[in-house]
Structure 1
Amino acid sequence: MFTSAGPLAAVWGALLSLPDEGVVALNRVAVNASVTTLAVGGSGAGLLAFNEHAHFAGDRRRTVTYR
């Protein structure tokens, strides 16, 4: 799924039980085209990876933009 950081930050915040300020803080550091990985199982959903952007290695690192 592709979406902007705002909706993802809301999901991250809900999974981590963060206050609104925490959701805003996550949204500020989210890299465009980053990867988030969730695991969903019998005990619910969990955040496995947040804001992963290793695919921007090397020369592509300069193309990283936020929110």
Structure 2
Amino acid sequence: MISLTKLNGNKFTLNAIYIEEIQSFPDTTITLTNGHKFFVKEPEAEVIKLVTAFYQTINLLGTDKKMEA
């Protein structure tokens, strides 16, 4: 789960597993696999970092080869 901020300032938590697409229009738009869209204040690059960290936390992504050395 990742914590994000809607454009109105309300914080919410999103299950990142259901993210299909992230775009900047310039607002960051997150589209879920069910077609639902969220517009958030965080820049696209920050959302990607949050999603990647979440995936690593649940071991959905392997560990970085550089980190294993």
TM-score class, shorter-chain normalisation, is: under 0.3
Larger fraction in helix = 1
If asked which structure has higher relative contact order (CA below 8 Å, sep 6+), I would say: 1
TM-score of the aligned structures, taking structure 1 as reference length:
0.23
Higher strand share: 2
Question: So what's the TM-score if we normalise by structure 2?
Answer: 0.22
